Amino acid sequence: MKKIGIGIIGAGRIGKLHAKSITYHIPEAEIAIISDPVIDVAKAVAGELSIPQYVADYKEVLKCPNVDAVLICSPTDTHADIAIEAARLGKHIFCEKPVDREIEKIVETKKVVEACKVKMQIGFNRRFDHNHKRVRDLAKSGVLGDIHVVKITSRDPEPPPAAYVRVSGGLFLDMAIHDFDMARFQSGSEVEEVFACGAVLVDPAIGKEGDIDTAIVTLKFKNGALGVIDNSRKAVYGYDQRVEVFGSKGMASGENDCPTTVRVSTAAEVSSDKPQYFFLQRYMESFVDEMKAFIDAVRRDAPVPVGIDDGLKPVVIAKAALKSLRENRPVRCDEIYRF
């Protein structure tokens, strides 16, 4: 098989990360072109990774004859429109989450992608994390029995600046969106009802932007299981990412990754390393593995593991959580959108 030609739209942090994954870890693909409105950014990444062409206009990526698939790593409000353009030009698509903040736009994108018969994978990389995937594999195998409870802890080491919060879409759409996807993934079921409560306990500036920085979300799944997600914008000890699935026959839990597994025991204390501090440290392997899965699906003409419906449903859950927070009541997901 020939190598899959890749075009990258957006040469910022996540675009560069994916470019490195392909260059260093995926010999079945090669990057033909990269774009960024700040041309010097695209030039720097192209120079570092020996990408043959860099441009400012993403449309040149879409038109490039050497590109079989595009990675959309641009700002969120551009994702859907670029995906629609790419699909109409016959390009397969990897799109960072979310596809869009508005359900109607995601549905429009889905219709175009399906009509054009191209593949579209959404960047929910945490599904590919070694710990989270192992827990899901155990739950899916039946060894835990019927799933009763899914618990997810997701806490950032530092809050984002107020300027970011202002344009992020809020905690549920920006941060917890990964956790809503993880809840579906771990339960093997769809979320039917959401109840959310939140507070501003970390940074008053976040509250001034109309958002929260601390939240508890409870979920009811179609299969009868219950879920609990707790989020915080600041965990002083590091990036706290844990998952637990409890069933009728047992429980599986994934703990935090630490720099080492060394535990020091003395008369004064027993201590070990704190969790990894940043998401790039914690999830680097998962970013590589999700890209391998996408390239493999394109090469073999197989379904992608995380499709556009998987991009739509967490947004519906996030909208339900926000409505629940504002109205202080449980909200059914079909109040937001009926599939």
- The whole-number average pLDDT for the span 210-238 is 97
- The whole-number average pLDDT for the span 201-227 is 98
pTM, 2 dp: 0.95
The beta strand positions in the chain, using DSSP E, are 4-9, 29-35, 54-55, 69-72, 92-95, 120-122, 147-155, 191-199, 214-221, 226-232, 240-247, 250-254, 263-265, 270-272, 331-332
- The whole-number average pLDDT for the span 286-299 is 98
Calculate the alpha carbon distances from 256 to 72, 129, 200, 242, 243 in Å. 29, 11, 25, 6, 9
268 band by pLDDT with thresholds 50, 70 and 90? very high
Tell me how crowded residue 172 is: count the other CB atoms within 10 A of its CB.
Answer: 30
In the predicted model, is pLDDT for residue 295 greater than 80?
Answer: yes
Tell me how crowded residue 301 is: count the other CB atoms within 10 A of its CB.
Answer: 8
CB 308, CB 120: distance < 8 Å: yes
CA-to-CA distance for 71 and 103, rounded, in angstroms? 21
CA-to-CA distance for 276 and 217, rounded, in angstroms? 24
In the predicted model, is pLDDT for residue 181 greater than 90?
Answer: yes
Residue 277 has what pLDDT? 87
Residue 196 has what pLDDT? 98
User: Closest Cα partner for 15 from 64, 63, 79?
Assistant: 79
pLDDT in tens, 74-123: 999 999 999 999 999 999 999 999 999 999 999 999 999 999 999 999 99
Question: What's the mean pLDDT when you consider all of the chain?
Answer: 97
Indicate the residue type of 127: R
Structure token pair of residue 67: 């590109």
* Portion of the chain with pLDDT greater than 90, in percent: 96
Structure token pair of residue 198: 């939140």
* Portion of the chain with pLDDT greater than 70, in percent: 100
